[in-house]
């Protein structure tokens, strides 16, 4: 599992838990965490992409 896949998985887990909890503060924190994990996934995905050679 790549780092980006790991963070995507963690984001989904946090969202799933947020749907299940009844405490609104806990739900809000879980959704914040999901957002952070999603941002990390995007960053890792960008790092995992092969770079195009520079022409010039």
- So what's the pLDDT on residue 48? 85
Q: Does residue 23 carry a pLDDT above 90?
A: yes
For residue 7, with 0-12 CB atoms within 10 Å meaning exposed, 13-18 middle and 19 or more buried, which class applies?
buried
d(CA 13, CA 33): 10
Helix (H, G, I), strand (E, B) or coil at 53: coil
Sign of CA dihedral 8, 13, 19, 23: negative
- So what's the pLDDT on residue 36? 98
d(CA 11, CA 8): 5
Running DSSP on this structure, what letter comes out for residue 25?
A: H
Query: For the chain, what is the mean pLDDT?
Result: 93
Tell me the pTM: 0.81
- Express each pLDDT in 26-45 by its tens digit: 999 999 999 999 999 999 99
- So what's the pLDDT on residue 54? 65
């Amino acid at each position: 599992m790549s780092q980006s896949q790991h963070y995507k998985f963690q984001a989904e887990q946090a969202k799933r838990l947020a749907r299940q909890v009844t405490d609104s503060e806990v739900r809000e924190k879980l959704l914040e965490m999901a957002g952070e994990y999603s941002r990390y996934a995007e960053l890792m995905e960008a790092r995992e992409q092969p770079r195009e050679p520079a022409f010039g």
